[in-house]
């Protein structure tokens, strides 16, 4: 992200175009690099600590999409003004990326002081922005690093701050993280996994596994949810909780999903036609305009009936860019693909979303199911969800069912479908086909006299 400082310019004027961001008037990445480099030289004889921080705006793309790029530029200008006004006489701020700003704090000597300083800046940025006759709100995440010795170059400090920013973004919105050595080791491991995952996707080595979804009344299998599984020859088995976020963040999720969906569809073609295939879309796929086209092209190539495919999306994915998500969902729905809202009750969407989007199914999150037997609020929430969905004509599936008592209670409440370890763990394609055929054979056997 940060370009190396090339041929040094003799003109140190802050207005020099080569060092200035044309939109905000702040210094650009070259100006920031130059200032940090000079400060390191100034402290060569007495390497007193100083801090740098990188602030990255959370969810700026949806702001651009909602208000337009001209309004987005106006907000960036307002952000620059706020940050500049917040700097003391020693500190400075530059715009180093589309929605990234960097601060240099020569008089901040400790991690605690750096966190306090940058957290104050995030609070300042969180105040509403005027955009014509409307207002917009933003948050920011930040990563910081501290200079302690001459062994640390400007590039090293920036890389450390970027690593800390990466951890801040993974922790949620509005977080401040200071670099630690453990982060560097974790970052190296993530990079190793990323490289292995790219190779595995190219080689077609990520496999779909299938977890049964059953009719709670008859216990008959009615469909399967697709879950990605990956075992690397060197690393070993990698949990999807590890490699899916990496695929999201490093831009691999598109080809990974295409691979897993293709294999899942090919496997499902061997199942009875009344069994559906459920497949999860990630948040980043709901902002990619090619997602719908890619899925429909896949179904056409394989000859799989779109009416047998169910696409699951999460509330978080839906809210990352509702406009783009709506286009993709409508396109898929028009071709007969059913849309399910996954992990309901754990995200940030409003109930109005259930009316705005053509959901045919809602999945009750496992957190409510796991606590329902000894937690009355969870029972009330489940009852409320079921009553609401009945009124809206939306089917409901309960996730994470592990005990017979949970299944019986859900059925008593009116939930007709569920999945979880009680009914089977996810299995590979060959094992799933055996399970399906055995279920068919059991249904076809004549009843004993």
Q: Walk me through the domains of the chain, giving residue ranges and CATH numbers.
A: 17-179 (3.30.70.270), 206-444 (3.20.20.450)
247 CB-contact burial (10 Å; exposed 0-12 / middle 13-18 / buried 19+): buried
Residues 6+ away with beta carbon under 8 Å from 237: 229, 230, 231
Helix or strand holding residue 58 (H, E)? strand 50-58
- Mean pLDDT taken over the chain: 90
Backbone angles phi, psi at 308, to 5 degrees: -90, -5
Give the residue-averaged pLDDT of 85-92.
95
Assign 203 a pLDDT band (cuts: 50, 70, 90): very high
What is the CB neighbour count within 10 angstroms for residue 32? 27
Which pLDDT does position 9 carry in this prediction? 41
Is residue 3 pLDDT above 80, yes or no? no
Is residue 433 pLDDT above 70, yes or no? yes
Tokens of 416: 């007709």
Residues noted as catalytic: 399
Which pLDDT does position 324 carry in this prediction? 86
Give the residue-averaged pLDDT of 30-54.
93
Is residue 437 pLDDT above 60, yes or no? yes
pLDDT in tens, 258-306: 999 999 999 999 999 999 999 999 988 988 889 999 999 999 999 999 9
Which pLDDT does position 446 carry in this prediction? 54
Is residue 34 pLDDT above 70, yes or no? yes
Long-range contacts of 325-329 (CB under 8 A, 24+ apart): 325/286, 325/287, 325/357, 326/356, 326/357, 327/289, 327/292, 328/285, 328/286, 328/289, 328/291, 328/292, 329/357, 329/358
Which pLDDT does position 345 carry in this prediction? 67
Q: Above pLDDT 90, what percent of the chain?
A: 72
Which pLDDT does position 350 carry in this prediction? 56
Which pLDDT does position 4 carry in this prediction? 40
Which pLDDT does position 46 carry in this prediction? 83
Listed range (256-265, 306-315, 347-356, 409-418) with the worst mean pLDDT: 347-356
Backbone angles phi, psi at 215, to 5 degrees: -75, 120
* Contact call for residues 94 and 29 (beta carbons, < 8 A): yes
Radius of gyration (C-alpha) of the chain in whole angstroms: 26
Give the residue-averaged pLDDT of 12-41.
88
Give the residue-averaged pLDDT of 201-209.
97
Which pLDDT does position 131 carry in this prediction? 83
State the pTM of this model: 0.72
Give the residue-averaged pLDDT of 338-343.
92
Which pLDDT does position 16 carry in this prediction? 78
Give the residue-averaged pLDDT of 201-230.
97
Give the residue-averaged pLDDT of 140-167.
93
pLDDT in tens, 97-140: 999 999 999 999 999 999 999 999 999 999 999 887 888 888 99
Listed range (54-58, 190-194, 385-389, 445-449) with the worst mean pLDDT: 445-449
Beta bridge partners of residue 57, listed in sequence order: 140
Which pLDDT does position 343 carry in this prediction? 78
């Amino acid at each position: 992200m940060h370009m190396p400082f090339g041929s040094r310019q003799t003109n140190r004027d802050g207005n020099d175009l080569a060092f200035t961001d044309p939109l905000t008037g702040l210094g650009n990445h070259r100006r920031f690099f130059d200032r940090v480099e000079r400060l390191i030289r100034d402290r060569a004889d007495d390497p007193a600590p100083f801090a740098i921080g990188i602030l990255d705006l959370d969810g700026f793309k949806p702001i651009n999409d909602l208000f337009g790029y001209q309004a987005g530029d106006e907000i960036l200008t307002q952000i620059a003004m706020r940050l500049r006004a917040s700097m003391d006489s020693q500190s400075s701020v530059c715009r180093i990326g589309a929605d990234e700003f960097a601060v240099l704090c020569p008089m901040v000597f400790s991690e605690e002081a750096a966190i306090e300083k940058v957290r104050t800046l995030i609070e300042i940025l969180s105040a509403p922005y005027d955009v014509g006759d409307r207002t917009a709100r933003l948050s920011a995440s930040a990563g910081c690093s501290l200079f302690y010795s001459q062994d640390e170059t400007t590039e090293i400090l920036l890389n450390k701050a970027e690593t800390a920013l990466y951890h801040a973004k993974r922790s949620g919105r509005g977080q401040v993280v200071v670099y630690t050595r453990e982060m560097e080791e974790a970052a190296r491991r993530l990079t190793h996994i990323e490289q292995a995952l790219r190779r595995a996707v190219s080689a077609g080595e990520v496999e779909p596994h299938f977890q049964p979804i059953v009719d709670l009344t008859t216990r008959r299998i009615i469909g399967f949810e697709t879950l990605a599984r990956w075992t690397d020859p060197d690393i070993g088995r990698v949990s999807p909780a590890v490699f899916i976020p990496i695929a999201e963040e490093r831009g691999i999720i598109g080809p990974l999903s295409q691979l897993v969906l293709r294999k899942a569809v090919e496997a499902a073609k061997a199942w009875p036609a009344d069994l559906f295939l459920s497949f999860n879309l990630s948040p980043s796929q709901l902002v990619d305009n090619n997602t719908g086209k890619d899925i429909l092209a896949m179904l056409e190539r394989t000859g799989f009936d779109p009416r047998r495919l169910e696409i699951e999306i999460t509330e978080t994915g839906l809210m990352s860019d509702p406009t783009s998500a709506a286009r993709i969902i409508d396109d898929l729905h028009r071709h007969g693909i059913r849309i399910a809202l996954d992990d309901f009750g754990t995200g940030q969407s409003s109930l109005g979303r259930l009316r705005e989007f053509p959901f045919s199914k809602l999945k009750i999150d496992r957190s409510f199911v796991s606590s329902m037997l000894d937690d009355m609020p969870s029972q009330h929430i489940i009852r409320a969800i079921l009553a609401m969905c009945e009124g809206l004509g939306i089917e409901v599936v309960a996730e994470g069912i592990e005990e017979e008592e949970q299944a019986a209670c859900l059925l008593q409440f009116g939930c007709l479908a569920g999945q979880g370890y009680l009914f089977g763990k996810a299995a590979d394609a060959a094992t799933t086909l055996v399970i399906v055929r055995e279920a068919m054979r059991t249904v076809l056997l004549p009843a004993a006299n």
